[in-house]
Amino acid sequence: MHLIFQPAEEAGLDCGAKRMLADGLFERFPCDAVFALHNQPGIPARAFRYHKGPFMSASDRVTITVKGTGGHAARPHQAIDPIVAASSLVMGLQTIISRNVDPTRTAVVTVGTIHGGKAMNVIANDVTLGLSVRSFDADVRALLKKRITELATAHAASYGATAEVDYGWGHPVLVNSERETELARRVAEEVVGAGNVGEVGRITGSEDFAYMLEQRPGCLLRIGNGAGANVPLLHTSRFDFNDENLTVGAGYWVKLAERFLEAR
């Protein structure tokens, strides 16, 4: 039985789980299964949620640099404006989900950042877009890369500009194995009662524990941080960990270890 204290969970592409596995985590500390808990505001405290199979999405990061020709804002005909091309591209990228991805499957393309220009009276030379791309299926993930690359290149060209696409593969899909998830569910029910344990749908957030689940069977559960309209979400400055979870979470881990070892 091992406890994994993982750093850099939110580091993105070069995350803690990936680095620990590369350093030989499971070779140095062999295990038959791995388990994790993740805090979740919006769910009552002392409650657990689970999902069997693909649970949390793959997460890829894409940087698109649209290159034009800078110039004076008063003479746009003498320049190739990358801001206009990039602005149009942002809208065009939304059609990938609505027109290329099967509507019965889940995917997300979000343009999270736009950087270009420093003065109002100057047409910039280039604009950079930062994208977050989410999916649950390998073929959809490949389709998203193909269409984002094709659309960025062709869209920029239609404005006389060019586009460079840096596509960074990120976290894989987090897949909870059925047997281990069933064990985790039963243990959670022992700790807080069946009425406080429920199944939930897929989550389009991502988690680097997925790398560990690629190498070992296991399960990630969500533990509630409190429900209500005013409960701050994760990754906000107002987030406040609910201390009630300390005893509940500790009790879950102790009971999980006991039940897992009993089944050996």
CATH of the domain at 103: 3.30.70.360
Whole-angstrom distance, CA of residue 33 vs CA of residue 215: 9
Q: Is residue 225 assigned to a domain?
A: yes
Q: Provide the pLDDT for residue 35.
A: 97
Report pLDDT digits (tens) over 39-79.
Answer: 999 999 899 999 999 999 999 999 999 999 999 999 999 99
Q: What is the CATH number of the domain that holds 209?
A: 3.40.630.10
Long-range contacts of 240-246 (CB under 8 A, 24+ apart): 241/39, 242/39, 242/45, 244/45, 244/46, 245/39, 245/45, 245/46
Q: Provide the pLDDT for residue 231.
A: 86
Residues of the chain short of pLDDT 50, as ranges, are none
Q: Is residue 49 assigned to a domain?
A: yes
Whole-angstrom distance, CA of residue 119 vs CA of residue 227: 45
Domain span at 183: 12-53+175-262
Whole-angstrom distance, CA of residue 27 vs CA of residue 79: 58
Which of 171, 196, 225 delimits the end of a domain? 171
- State whether 180 and 235 are in the same domain: yes
**Based on the structure, what is the number of domains in the chain?**
2
Q: Provide the pLDDT for residue 12.
A: 65
Q: Provide the pLDDT for residue 240.
A: 87
- State whether 129 and 65 are in the same domain: yes
